Every structure is written in structure tokens, then in C-alpha cells.
Amino acid sequence: MKLSLILATVARSIDVGRFIHSLVGQTDRNFELIVVDQNTDDRLLPYIEEGRTAGLDLHHLRLNRPSLSGARNMGIAKSTGELVGFPDDDCWYDPDTVAQVLRVFSSTPNLQGIVACWEEQMRDKRVKPMIGNLSLKAWRDFRGGYASSISLFFRREQFDRLGGFDERLGVGRWYGGAEETDFILRALASGASLAYCPTVKVHHLFEPVTQDKLSKRCRVARRRSRGTGGIYAKHHLSFWVIFRGFLAPIYHTISYREALRLGFSISLGRIEGYLKWKFRER
């Protein structure tokens, strides 16, 4: 069994080098790395050559129009592994991450996908890593837990069957996020067996919140939240889930002036995404 890691990247270089270095140190080399480069320059070439020199099975693709979902779909189409994963360009892996992924899927043939443990996310939220199978009902109620795209590992056949990521969603698009939530909902609705797997660990830094960056964070949060609003409409979620989703970001931050601004941006983005999808998308 082989794992294809699809890394979509733009505007970064040193962080990509760090991820490649973490792959060089993997205890199991039964994987390929597909870098989908959306830069207009050659900043990644030194790191690509470093990885190849170290013996990695590394493929370098170019995509002219930045689109996270589009880049990942391109990588899926070029992949040769039975399994696929989607590291961000500022992630890194523990030395046994690939080995753990391969071990889980080899020992559980009926399992179609796993959600790994994002170490920094669990630490930031101060909760224990989740275990057990993902539930369609819980995910439709937005009570299913956490599953960033960097923590997703699926059998390739799931993307062949369901059509990959929805390219209307994700970074680089007007609906700036939630492409992974959309795919999980589609996979669960199709009957796929998905499970949390805390023994597989991925890393991705949390950027500290500072006052001078608040305006930028609000803009990014609004854009990303349009994707969440879009999937409210796309998946015909219940009135109460949608209503709660519109109000919760404001309600949970109402006592904190700076956080309230961020909460309002999230709510506004969800409303914008829901209305546009409901009345304009098919």
C-alpha cells in the first residue's frame, strides 16, 4: 500500500522545506509527495531538489490560477497511491506519521478514511483527541468534532467515486473554506466508514492573536466562513443548525470587544455564503 501526499502551495518556501525535511526522516518511505506549485517564480526549486537528492519520490506540478481545491484535485488526478493525504505548506510530520497511516489502513480494510490528531489544535482547545467513528447525523448537526484538511487521509477510491473536492470551495475562491467539511459530509452520506485516529499525528502552528493583526484576521475569517455558509445551503442542513451557526460566533464573543469583531466577521461570512449558495448555485 502506498500513500500519496498532495501539497498545494503558494507564497511560501522555507515552510515547504521544513515539511520536505520531515518526510526525509520518515521511518516508512512507501509514499510519494506531489507538490502543486501555484507560485509565479522558482522559489521552491532548491527544496524540490533537496528532497529528490534525499531519495524522496517527489513530483513537481504547476497550477497558474491559485485554488486550494483545484490544486488538490490536480494532485489526486496525478497520484499513484491507494491512499491520499493533504498536508498544508506549513505543516510537518512526526517520523512515524506515514508508517502509522499505512498501518491503520492495512489493518482495517473496511475503513475509507481517517481524521488524524492535529497536535496544536488539540492543545489550543485543551481537549483530548477524539476517538471512534464519525457520525453523519452529528456532522450534519455540526456536533461531529474537528477535522481540518491537513488531518485527512482517505482511500483514493473515495475521491474517484465522489468527484474530488468541490472547487467552488476553499482558499482562493469566494467561498474561502469548508471544502474538507463538504467532502466529509458527502463521504458519510455515501455510506463511507470514517474514524478518528489519535495515534496518527500532524503538526501545524497556531498563529497567536495580536491586536495589530485583527483587521486581517477578520477579513480572512469572513472569507473562510462563506464556505461554511455555502455548505449550510448545499447540504440542506436544518433550520436550527443554520440559525445557531449564524448567531453562535457573536454570542460566544459578546463579552470581549476585540473578539466580538472577529465573531461578527464570522457570522457575516456565513450569512453571505448561505444566501449566495441558496439563490445562485446549482
Asked whether the predicted pLDDT for residue 219 surpasses 70, the reply is yes
Confirm if 269 and 225 have CB atoms less than 8 A apart.
yes
| DSSP code per residue over 216-267 | HHHHHHHHHHHHHHHHHHHTT--HHHHHHHHHHHHHTTTT-HHHHHHHHHHH
Q: Tally Cβ neighbours within 10 Å of residue 119.
A: 16
Averaged pLDDT for residues 212-233: 90
According to the per-residue pLDDT averaged within each range, which of 104-108, 147-151, 205-209, 254-258 is highest?
104-108
pLDDT band at 180 (very low <50, low <70, confident <90, very high): very high
Rounded to two decimals, what is the model's pTM?
0.92
Instruction: Work out the end-to-end distance of the chain between its first and last CA atoms, rounded to an integer number of angstroms.
Output: 38
Confirm if 202 and 246 have CB atoms less than 8 A apart.
no
What are the φ and ψ backbone dihedral angles of 70, each rounded to 5 degrees?
-65, -40
Confirm if 194 and 114 have CB atoms less than 8 A apart.
yes
37-41, 54-58, 129-133, 178-182: the lowest-pLDDT one: 129-133
The half-sphere exposure of 116 on its side-chain side, counting CA atoms within 13 A, is 29
Provide the grid cell at 105.
Answer: 489502513
Q: What pLDDT, in 10s, does the model give residues 42-86?
A: 999 999 999 999 999 999 999 988 899 999 999 999 999 999 999
Measure the CA–CA gap between 130 and 115, rounded to whole angstroms: 9
pLDDT of res. 144: 85
User: Could you tell me where in the chain the CATH 3.90.550.10 domains are found?
Assistant: 3-204
Domain 3-204 part of CATH 3.30.160.150: no
What is the DSSP-derived secondary structure letter of residue 169? B
Measure the CA–CA gap between 161 and 85, rounded to whole angstroms: 17
Helical axes 239-251 vs 214-234, angle rounded to 10°: 170
Give 175: exposed, middle or buried? Use CB within 10 Å, 0-12, 13-18, 19+: buried
pLDDT of res. 255: 66
pLDDT of res. 96: 95
Provide the grid cell at 25.
Answer: 526522516
CB contact burial 128-143 (16+ within 10 A = b; e otherwise): ebbeeebebeebbebe
As a whole number, the mean pLDDT across the chain is 91
Say which residues have a Cβ less than 8 Å from residue 22's Cβ, sequence separation at least 6.
92, 93, 94, 95
30-34, 197-201, 204-208: the lowest-pLDDT one: 204-208
Name which residue leads in pLDDT, 215 or 276.
276
Confirm if 115 and 130 have CB atoms less than 8 A apart.
yes
Name which residue leads in pLDDT, 151 or 205.
151
Say which residues have a Cβ less than 8 Å from residue 205's Cβ, sequence separation at least 6.
90, 120
Asked whether the predicted pLDDT for residue 279 surpasses 80, the reply is yes
The half-sphere exposure of 217 on its side-chain side, counting CA atoms within 13 A, is 16
pLDDT of res. 126: 63
